[in-house]
Amino acid sequence: MLSFFNPLRIRGGVHPEAHKTATANLPIVTDFPLPKKLYIPLQQHVGKPAEPLIRVGDKVLKGQLLAYSQGMISAPVHAPSSGTILDVNDYPAPHPSALPIRMIVLETDGQDTWMLAPTVNDPFQLTPEDISLRVGAAGIVGLGGATFPTAVKLNMGREAHIDLLIINGSECEPYLSCDDRQMQERAEHIIDGVRIMLHSMTTTNAVVAIEDNKPLAFLAMQKAAQSFAAITVMQIPTRYPMGWDRQLIKYLTGKEVPVGSRSSEIGVTIHNVSTALAVHKAIRYGQPLVSRVVTVSGGAILRPLNIEVPLGTLIAELFTFCEVKTDAVARIIMGGPMMGDALPHVNLPTVKATSGVLALTQSELKNTEEHPCIRCASCISVCPAGLRPLDMANNIRMNQLDAAVDIGLKDCISCGCCSYICPSNIPLVQYFKYAAGEVAARQQAQHKSEQTKRLIDARAARFKRIADQQAAEEQVRLAAKAARSHQLTTDSDTSTILGSRLAQQSEVDAH
Amino acid sequence: MYVLAAIVSLTLLGLLLGFLLGLAGKYLKVESSPLLDAIEALLPGSQCGQCGFIGCKPAAEALANGNAPATICPPGGSALAEQLALLLGLDLDLSDVKEPELLVARVSEATCTGCTRCFKVCPTDAIVGAPKQIHAVVADACIGCKKCIDVCPTECLQMHAIEVTLRNWRWTKPVTAKAEVNTMGEALC
Amino acid sequence: MKTSFKLSSGAHIGTRITVSHIMWQVMLALTPATVLGLYLFGWPAINLFVITVLSALFFEALCLKLAGRFARSVLLDGSALLTGWLLAMTLPPWSPWWIGVVGSGLAIILGKHVYGGLGQNLFNPAMLARVALLISFPIEMTTWVNVSPLFFTESPGIVTSWQITFGGLEHLDAVTGATTLGFIKTEFSQNHLLSDILTEYSGFLNFIGWTRGSLGETSSLLLALGGVWLIRQGIIQWHIPAALLLSVTLLSSIFHLLDNQHYVSPLLHLNSGAIVCVAFFIATDYVTSPNTPTGCLVFGAGCGLLIFVIRTWGAYPEGAGFAILLMNAATPLIDTYIKPRIYGRDHKGKPIEILKS
């Protein structure tokens, strides 16, 4: 019934000012001066952190494996340049809290010497499984920002026999233009990466979806894909968050991914254009993921650019290169201005997820003067997930977290549309992030209290067992005494009793 | 006269109904023992005594009788307080309740003599070690009851706040404008 | 560069639209109809308008002070001003001063602040105040003067207008009468037929506003223009006005076709009384209307139905105020039952099933 009033396939969404022209018309800078030191976090992906296999003082070449992936969902980390390992220790993470995480510090030698790697002339001779393995070994993760290990996704796509691969070139976040530039400049390589991905998933159809505010990228990609019938390049409406994978899937296929399921379960897998490019490099040239294109932009940046940056470069160096107006900076953001994280300072490294680094001025930021909610319901109409942000925020404000969960807190994707549109400047997304964390913390606390109870019960049971044993032992002793008084016992019997007693005693001690 | 009749009849009606309600409350009282069990099941059962009662059962009795607030149990935190409030039908105002700072015991390796006294009193077996060897606290199992602190002869056990790492870092709740005004008001007073 | 920033989550950018921006846009849309109305009813109407708006601001300031939330920006966010303005538009233009003051007090204190202030109220404050005034002071609230524009010789001057506003109408032989709807209601009660009743009725004069009534009842034309502009500006959505006007049109058409001597034509329904003002400015109040487009359609249709029923069979000639209050009370219910479907879930909140193809 509701669909009658909402015939469009796109739900919600906003039209923020794009701010992309400053960088979208300039070529990607590929001669960024190599930093003296690179700070490479061991976790730049969803899943388990990588485990370092180098030692401090080791000399490494560009592309050499520094840390190997642990477990099913993880990704290895490679040296972004050649040089010496200075340290493996905790350093501030590129995260709103800037709390420390484990990083490898690499002092570059300026040579930037690649490790010798075999090139593959015809990747289509490789088995699909082999491609997944190579992609996994190259440390490739979803470069759109989700950083889910790509190899795992390729395997899931192959196992689920998907019938469509979607390549996400929507880049709906304002300011960012790194995907746009890469599609304009490296279209052939991206299309090659798409073909390799198709081969790896043993499927035949791919759609490259590009927002219609990037006509040059669309033309370049269309030209590159011309000779491959399997790959369709198409334009999609410009609307944030068009790049949300589930929104894009709905728009292109008309199908929704059920809550709690993966997109491969409805026959679709979605990858980012940068990821396709990384796959191309990894398979054709054996180059692992050691650099990425980062948009450096914002009102406080004098020379906004797209830069090919070695992973681990400090943001401070990017800002120096792009000439930042220091006193005009009101907020530093990693990622886009809708979903990105505000960083407390600039001495934090760029990672695989860093699509952009923005230095915004006060006038670009949303006003933070908060007013009471007037129930204008704008947040409901822009929510792409179909939630009711105003009711959820009210519940959370009153500490009714369970009620917020009941009306969909866990389905929130933190896209920021509600915060963007709110005329009362209510920090809705922060309410939801807070509540999600709090719910998780409470679940942990619940778990801990159950565990505590189990431990206490176990302890009580143990004490009872020991008491019982001691009582039994006392009886044995008394019985033995009584027996001894009647008749002589052999030495071996005594030693048996003594032995068992010792064993019991040692068990008591062990506890 | 008309008005007087109305007043009198309504008053009588009120008195009668109130009396009946009182009788019902007295004679149809529900025994509260199932409630007591339910409360006890929720409480940690570690008998840590941080609430001021000697154990979890007396605390549960106090809660059942309405002599203790839902926020009584520090190790349970606000999660437990909410569950208790739900069970007891209490209005819970967590905004004034500060989340107790969670502490865990930590052994200072320099001064530990391996006397084993601490792990004998630990209600959750959170301390591991052997005689004459340095003990260690399993932070995940420690409930912060401080019993080990009292028995340690060398004061090598100390309580520390749980370290904030990226794994347990959480977003803070946005401060509302109203709360800001309130704190400003306090500052002025 | 500053080394530390306040922890803040996305979105870091936002629209420039604020609450007061919205309020001012609504007031801007009301301005043409208000100015015309004030011109047509002259100085006493201007006195009442100023008194009502100022007292609304006064009560707002008082309440904010009592709640300890007083701030210039909060007082002047436009919400109290708009409430006062809307209330003034529902009053008979020559009402005495205390009608405006009492009305504003009811609207701001009882209609808004007892619920907890802006955004918390269940009922539309202006409508609540109007209905309370109508029930409490039926004479003052149903005394409608003829149109007497400013600067006409027979219209009251400034000094006379003070007598009217502060002394009442008793001492003056002002020409009063009933509104169109009131007149029809009275005539119906004397078993007259519509064709006899409406001999002097001019749809055109009613449409531009040259008729007896409150400022919000007279110029359907300017009010509708203001409302359409608001929709174009994106301040209000089309759902409530469309559903309200359509349901009134539909119902009145059916009954008018069945019996055109006892049921007023749809044109007259749409053209008289506060229906246009209510459809665009009152029913669309964010706080007291549902949150979803479908909910808004239900809400608007409900308002239309009630307006038609009260006008046709009720005791009052105009039912807009009552209709709005009744539907306001139903808003939480509508929001409980009509809510958006969450992505990847069915309407009951269960994950949707994967269709095996």
Query: Cα(B32)–Cα(A124) distance, rounded to whole angstroms?
Result: 74
Which residue of chain C has the CA closest to A346?
C3
Judged by DSSP in three states, A457 sits in: helix
Whether this model's pTM surpasses 0.90: no
Same domain, C171 and C211: no
pLDDT recorded at residue C23: 93
Q: Nearest Cβ partner of B171 from C9, C68, C69?
A: C9
pLDDT recorded at residue B185: 33
The model's confidence at residue B187, banded by pLDDT at 50, 70 and 90, is very low
Q: What percent of chain B has pLDDT over 90?
A: 9
Domains of chain A: 1-29+123-286 (3.40.50.11540), 310-364 (no CATH), 457-510 (no CATH)
Q: Do C7 and B171 touch (CB under 8 A)?
A: yes
Scanning A392-411 for CB atoms below 8 A from B yields 396-397, 399, 401-402
Q: Which residues of chain C have pLDDT under 70?
A: 1-6, 169-174, 355-357
User: Looking at this protein, which amino acid is placed at residue C147?
Assistant: V
E strands in A93-225: 100-108, 164-169, 206-211
pLDDT recorded at residue B131: 82
User: Is C136 inside a domain boundary?
Assistant: yes
Same domain, C94 and C127: yes
Q: What percent of chain B has pLDDT over 70?
A: 85
Q: Does C283 or B118 have the greater pLDDT score? A: C283
Burial A147-174 (b: 16+ CB within 10 A, else e): bbbbbbbbbbbbebebebbbbbbbbbbb
Q: Nearest Cβ partner of A372 from C16, C117, C354?
A: C117
Does the pLDDT value for residue A493 go beyond 60?
no
Same domain, C22 and C140: yes
DSSP B113-160: ----HHHHH-TT--EE--TTS--EE-TTT-----HHHHH-TT--EEEE
When the pLDDT of each residue in chain A is averaged and rounded to a whole number, the result is: 89
Q: Nearest Cβ partner of A338 from C11, C290, C340?
A: C11
Q: Do B172 and C7 touch (CB under 8 A)?
A: yes
Same domain, B154 and B111: yes
Give the mean model confidence (pLDDT) for residues A400-412.
91
The model's confidence at residue A7, banded by pLDDT at 50, 70 and 90, is very low
Which residue of chain A has the CA closest to C236?
A376
Query: Cα(C235)–Cα(C226) distance, rounded to whole angstroms?
Result: 11
Burial C89-112 (b: 16+ CB within 10 A, else e): bbbbbbbbbbbbbbbbbbbbbbbb
User: pLDDT tens digits, residue range C182-224?
Assistant: 888 888 888 888 888 877 777 788 888 888 888 888 888 999 9
Q: A41 has which bridge partners?
A: A103
Q: How far is C235 from chain A (nearest CA, A)?
A: 9
Tokens 């202006």 -> residue: C126
Query: Cα(A259)–Cα(A328) distance, rounded to whole angstroms?
Result: 43
The model's confidence at residue A139, banded by pLDDT at 50, 70 and 90, is very high
Locate all alpha helices (DSSP H) within A240-331, ordered by sequence: 245-253, 273-285, 315-322
Same domain, C24 and C156: yes
The model's confidence at residue B94, banded by pLDDT at 50, 70 and 90, is low
DSSP B68-90: S-TT--TTTHHHHHHHHHHHHT-
pLDDT recorded at residue B32: 56
Question: Which residue range(s) make up the domain with C118?
Answer: 18-177
3-state secondary structure A316-362: HHHHHHHCECHHHCCEEEECCCCCCEEECCCCCECCCCCCEEEEECH
Same domain, C29 and C149: yes
Does the pLDDT value for residue A441 go beyond 70?
yes
User: Looking at this protein, which amino acid is placed at residue A340?
Assistant: G
The phi and psi torsions of A302 (rounded to 5 degrees) equal -75, -35
Q: What angle do CA A145, A146, A147 make, to 5 degrees?
A: 90
User: Is B16 inside a domain boundary?
Assistant: no
Retrieve residue A264's tokens: 């491969």
Contact C87, C129 (CB under 8 A): yes
pLDDT recorded at residue B181: 40
3-state helix, strand, coil in chain A (%, to 5): 40, 20, 40
Contact A172, A239 (CB under 8 A): yes
Q: Do B181 and C9 touch (CB under 8 A)?
A: no
Q: How far is C211 from chain B (nearest CA, A)?
A: 46
The model's confidence at residue A367, banded by pLDDT at 50, 70 and 90, is confident
DSSP A419-442: HHH-TT---HHHHHHHHHHHHHHH
User: Is B14 inside a domain boundary?
Assistant: no
Query: Cα(A330)–Cα(C8) distance, rounded to whole angstroms?
Result: 12
Question: Which residue range(s) make up the domain with B129?
Answer: 103-161
pLDDT recorded at residue A505: 52
Retrieve residue A415's tokens: 């896209």
Query: Cα(B11)–Cα(A510) distance, rounded to whole angstroms?
Result: 75
ipTM: 0.88
Q: How far is B182 from chain A (nearest CA, A)?
A: 15
Q: A297 has which bridge partners?
A: A358
Burial A42-59 (b: 16+ CB within 10 A, else e): bbbbbbebbebebeeeee
pLDDT recorded at residue A2: 37
Q: Do A434 and B165 touch (CB under 8 A)?
A: no
Same domain, C49 and C164: yes
Same domain, B120 and B81: no
Query: Cα(A320)–Cα(A4) distance, rounded to whole angstroms?
Result: 54
Same domain, B107 and B82: no
Structural domain ending residue among the three candidates C162, C177, C192: C177
pLDDT recorded at residue B33: 66
Scanning A448-477 for CB atoms below 8 A from B yields 448-449, 451-453, 455-456, 458-459
Give the mean model confidence (pLDDT) for residues B94-100.
56
User: pLDDT tens digits, residue range A35-54?
Assistant: 999 999 999 998 899 999 99
Contact A430, B170 (CB under 8 A): no
In what helix (H) or strand (E) does residue C289 lie, and over which residues does it extend?
none
Contacts of C286 in chain A (CB under 8 A): 374-377
Q: Do B126 and A370 touch (CB under 8 A)?
A: no
User: pLDDT tens digits, residue range B105-114?
Assistant: 888 888 888 8
User: Is C183 inside a domain boundary?
Assistant: no
Query: Cα(B64)–Cα(B86) distance, rounded to whole angstroms?
Result: 13
CATH code of the domain in which B119 resides? 3.30.70.20
With CA atoms as reference, report the closest residue to C311 among C196, C216, C180, C223.
C180
For residue C11, is the peptide bond before it cis, meaning its omega torsion is within 30 degrees of 0? yes
The model's confidence at residue A454, banded by pLDDT at 50, 70 and 90, is confident
Contact A343, C7 (CB under 8 A): no
Does the pLDDT value for residue A1 go beyond 60?
no
Q: B100 has which bridge partners?
A: none
Report the range of poorest mean pLDDT among A3-12, B156-165, C322-331. Answer: A3-12
Tokens 């490790």 -> residue: A115
Q: How far is C90 from chain B (nearest CA, A)?
A: 33
Q: A292 has which bridge partners?
A: A309
Locate all alpha helices (DSSP H) within chain C, ordered by sequence: 19-67, 72-75, 79-90, 97-105, 125-136, 138-141, 158-167, 180-189, 194-197, 203-208, 215-218, 220-233, 239-258, 266-271, 275-277, 293-313, 320-337
Best to test chain A binding among B86, B140, B171 (most A CBs inside 10 Å): B171
Scanning C69-128 for CB atoms below 8 A from B yields 69
Contact C265, C321 (CB under 8 A): no
User: Is C88 inside a domain boundary?
Assistant: yes
User: Is C193 inside a domain boundary?
Assistant: no
Q: Do C344 and A377 touch (CB under 8 A)?
A: no
User: Is C276 inside a domain boundary?
Assistant: yes
Judged by DSSP in three states, A396 sits in: helix
Contacts of C353 in chain A (CB under 8 A): 258
Q: How far is B98 from chain C (nearest CA, A)?
A: 20
Same domain, C108 and C33: yes
Distance, C-alpha C243 to centroid of its chain: 16
Q: What domain count does chain B have?
A: 2
CA torsion angle for C12, C15, C19, C22 (degrees, to 10)? Answer: 180
Query: Cα(A463)–Cα(C3) distance, rounded to whole angstroms?
Result: 56
DSSP A205-217: -EEEEEETT-HHH
Contact A196, A123 (CB under 8 A): yes
The model's confidence at residue B100, banded by pLDDT at 50, 70 and 90, is low
CB-based burial of residue B109 (10 Å sphere; 0-12 exposed, 13-18 middle, 19+ buried)?
Answer: exposed
Q: Do A381 and C18 touch (CB under 8 A)?
A: no
Contacts of C292 in chain A (CB under 8 A): 377, 380
The model's confidence at residue A436, banded by pLDDT at 50, 70 and 90, is very high
Does the pLDDT value for residue A302 go beyond 60?
yes
Retrieve residue C222's tokens: 């300017």
pLDDT recorded at residue C174: 64
Best to test chain C binding among A326, A374, A421 (most C CBs inside 10 Å): A374
Same domain, B43 and B69: yes
User: Is B51 inside a domain boundary?
Assistant: yes
Q: What domain count does chain C have?
A: 2
Distance, C-alpha A180 to centroid of its chain: 21
Q: Do B45 and A456 touch (CB under 8 A)?
A: yes
Q: How far is A123 from chain B (nearest CA, A)?
A: 40
Report the range of poorest mean pLDDT among A216-220, B99-103, C344-348. Answer: B99-103
Contacts of B173 in chain A (CB under 8 A): 396, 431, 434, 438
Q: Do B178 and C7 touch (CB under 8 A)?
A: no
User: pLDDT tens digits, residue range C9-44?
Assistant: 878 999 988 898 999 999 999 999 999 999 999 899
pLDDT recorded at residue C30: 95
Contacts of A366 in chain C (CB under 8 A): 11-14
When the pLDDT of each residue in chain B is averaged and rounded to a whole number, the result is: 78
The model's confidence at residue B90, banded by pLDDT at 50, 70 and 90, is confident
Q: Do C68 and B171 touch (CB under 8 A)?
A: no
Give the mean model confidence (pLDDT) for residues A331-359.
93
